[in-house]
Amino acid sequence: MAKYTGGANVKGGYYWNPRAWAVEVVPSEGGRLPGNGARFVKVPFPLLLVVVPVLGALFLMFMPVIGFALLVHAVVKKVTGGVKEGAADLAATVHPGWRPGEAHFTGKPGEEEEKAPGAAPTKELKALEDEIARKRGDE
């Protein structure tokens, strides 16, 4: 069985695409295989009579399994999606988003402002200011 790629000029016959599970029929005078980059295998007609029913039977057997697998996947996704959403909400509450340019160093309303020790002008500081002013005035 020879292998071909999509878009190739081929002789007439039956070409099976294993990826798409499709059989392409090319007329006896020849033609082009459809698809860009798709892979095809030339299958003799007697073998085709065996392969096509087997593929159909496999499809019929695994279709219910695929349906149940998709159902289980959807249920698990719904259940875990709710948990993820709750965790995301909790994380957003515990750690608020970053807002550039916003500062929270002003305290809360009604709080008394604490003054740093030595922030109010003392007698020594006032005397130093007067001395500096006197010296500047003398010069």
Each residue of 13-28: pLDDT tens digit? 999 898 888 889 999 9
Q: What are the tens digits of pLDDT across the range 70-110?
A: 999 999 988 887 777 778 888 777 776 777 777 767 667 77
Residue 25 lies in a domain: yes
- Please report whether residue 92 resides in a domain: no
Kindly list the distances between the CA atom of residue 139 and the CA atoms of 125, 126, 133, in Å, as whole numbers in the listed order: 22, 21, 10
Examine residue 70 and state whether it is found in any structural domain, yes or no.
no
Total structural domains within the chain? 1
Tell me, yes or no, if the pTM score tops 0.75. Answer: no
